[in-house]
Amino acid sequence: MHDFSQALAVAFSMILSLDEGLVRIIGLSLRVSLSAVAIATLIGLPLGAAVAALSFPGRRAVAVALNTMMGLPPVVVGLVVYLLLSRSGPFGVLGLLFTPTAMIVAQTVMIVPIVASLARQTVEDLLVEYDDLLRVTGAGPVRRLATLLSEARWSLVTTVLAGFGRASAEVGAVMIVGGNIEHVTRVMTTAIALETSKGDLPMALGLGLVLMTLSLTVNLAASLLKEAGARPA
């Protein structure tokens, strides 16, 4: 129990003192994960909706593939992105390895399947209601997807949050492609791993609590947004 109370004390003093190093790490965590979520949303929502509402060859296969890829181990994603971005890899000339950009790429790859899969399910459920209507109005594929996504938007907030949760909590991928470089690519999860390595368990757990607080803030904001938006309906 002593460890836990110590961790709580560490977490509180860190949040209260807002030490510069911590602010930087939190800022980078948010920057990387929110960027990845934004990109994954732009790709994943239309993709999921397309798989749900359009008919094209291989549609079921894509759906199964997306579901499977929801379980992609972060370490594997990290390794693949690392090999691609390494100086000896195909995209080595870009010099992106060990930068926040590389971390955003890895997290995006990881959460696109989550956003797309969950969006597919949501839109598929909605389609039961709207299919006839859309058929009658003779909407083209783009119009069809736009209408469905727009109607499902508040349910999709949860989809996007699931993506954010996965991105902000993973350590395997960002550790490999970011390298956990102090001031440059160190984020909350890799900092936690580092403190664990040093045997400073209260500090590690304290950082974990700060990360949870951060996640709570983001989720709370999303939930307020969702509530405010859904109310007029």
Partner 1 sequence: MLRRSFVLGCAAAAALAGLVQAAAPSAALAADRFITVASTTSTEDSGLFGSILPKFTAKTGIEVRVVAKGTGQAIDLAKRGDADVLFVHHKPSEEKFVAEGFSTLRKPVMYNDFVVVGPSSDPAGVKGSKDVAQSLSKIAEAKAPFVSRGDDSGTHKAELALWKTANLDPAKAEGGWYRSIGQGMGPTLNTAAAMNGYALTDRGTWLNFKNRGPLTVLVEGDKRLFNQYGVMLVNPAKFAHVKAADGQAFVDWLVSAEGQKAIADYTINGEPLFFPNASDPGA
The footprint of partner 1 (CB under 8 A) covers 24, 27-28, 30-31, 34-35, 38, 86-89, 92, 95, 97-100, 150, 153, 179-184, 194, 196-201, 225, 228-229, 232-233
DSSP string, 115-135: HHHHHHHHHHHHHHHHHHHHH
CB of 123 to partner 1, least distance (A): 16
Q: 55 vs 150, which CB is nearer to partner 1?
A: 150
Residue 96, SS3 per DSSP: coil
3-state DSSP helix/strand/coil percent for the chain, to nearest 5? 80, 0, 20
CB of 71 to partner 1, least distance (A): 22
Q: 118 vs 204, which CB is nearer to partner 1?
A: 204
CB of 201 to partner 1, least distance (A): 5
- CA–CA gap between residue 22 and residue 10 (Å, rounded): 12
Residue 139, SS3 per DSSP: coil
CB of 92 to partner 1, least distance (A): 7
Q: 70 vs 194, which CB is nearer to partner 1?
A: 194
| Token duo for residue 112 | 């696109």
H/E stretch holding 39: helix 20-53
Whose structure tokens read 């797309």?
116
CA nearest neighbour of 11 among 215, 203, 218: 203
CB of 31 to partner 1, least distance (A): 5
Sign of CA pseudo-dihedral 143, 146, 148, 151: negative
Q: 120 vs 164, which CB is nearer to partner 1?
A: 164
Q: 114 vs 187, which CB is nearer to partner 1?
A: 187
- CA–CA gap between residue 117 and residue 121 (Å, rounded): 6
H/E stretch holding 167: helix 153-169
Q: 53 vs 152, which CB is nearer to partner 1?
A: 152
CB of 88 to partner 1, least distance (A): 4
